Amino acid sequence: MVISNLHIYGLDNAIRGSKFPMVTNVDSATSDITMTTHKLAQSKQGSGHDQFLTGIVAQFDLTFTVKAWTEAERYHFLDFISSQSTMHRISEFELDNQYSEYTDRRIIAIMNELKDKYNETHNPEDYLRLLYSNPCGFKLTAAMTTNFRQLKTIYYQRKDHRLPEWREFCKQLEEIPEFRDIVLGGDVNGMV
């Protein structure tokens, strides 16, 4: 599981606001999900018709490998609230459990040796050897905040990605009822 501790905010208000362009009295706009709500949410990315999705905020914990985090950083709208730190805690992690299944076990053994050496000597040079030797398969968790419009973009860009954690991330988005029903229209095979 890459997504955990998910919280969604602003759903009703965003849906209500999506109706503003077609009403003269904003008090008449409701948070009822209509065919128009679905049509707007499922409109082509970049068309602007799905702007109301920006008001549906998603906060969650995300666990990715260093390799996937490097790619996630390209999304300027995926905001980090806080994250685990190799800089502060590399010498304290239980390394046998911290790497993806694709990390060579021999490398993990070397990392454990480097960790044990640093914890014995507390030598800054030993610390740097440990830190800089850490492979891309190392998993870290961060608290994130974004919105449904940005998750829609990530979903369509990453659902068939080579990295398994991106595919898992997208599968977990499909399991969020509000995202699946409004953005994907209940269709997890893609619509846009």
pLDDT digits (tens, 9 = 90+) for 87-143: 999 999 999 999 999 999 999 999 999 999 999 999 999 999 999 999 999 999 999
Considering the entire predicted model, what is its pTM? Answer: 0.89
Are residue 121 and residue 152 in the same domain, yes or no? no
The domain of 96 spans 91-133
pLDDT digits (tens, 9 = 90+) for 11-60: 999 999 999 999 999 999 999 999 999 999 999 888 889 999 999 999 99
Are residue 166 and residue 71 in the same domain, yes or no? yes
pLDDT at 1: 82
Are residue 10 and residue 62 in the same domain, yes or no? yes
154 CB contacts (<8 Å, ≥6 apart)?
75, 78, 169, 170, 173
Are residue 112 and residue 17 in the same domain, yes or no? no
In a domain, 39, yes or no: yes
Tell me the average pLDDT of the chain: 94
Are residue 152 and residue 176 in the same domain, yes or no? yes
Amino acid making up residue 186:
G
pLDDT digits (tens, 9 = 90+) for 133-151: 999 999 999 999 999 999 9
Could you give the angle at the alpha carbon of 166 between the alpha carbons of 37 and 150, nearest 5°?
35
Are residue 125 and residue 144 in the same domain, yes or no? no
CA nearest to 10, candidates 145, 122, 116: 145
Are residue 76 and residue 159 in the same domain, yes or no? yes
pLDDT at 76: 87
162 class by beta-carbon count within 10 Å (0-12 exposed, 13-18 middle, 19+ buried):
exposed
Q: How many domains does the chain have?
A: 2
Are residue 144 and residue 73 in the same domain, yes or no? yes
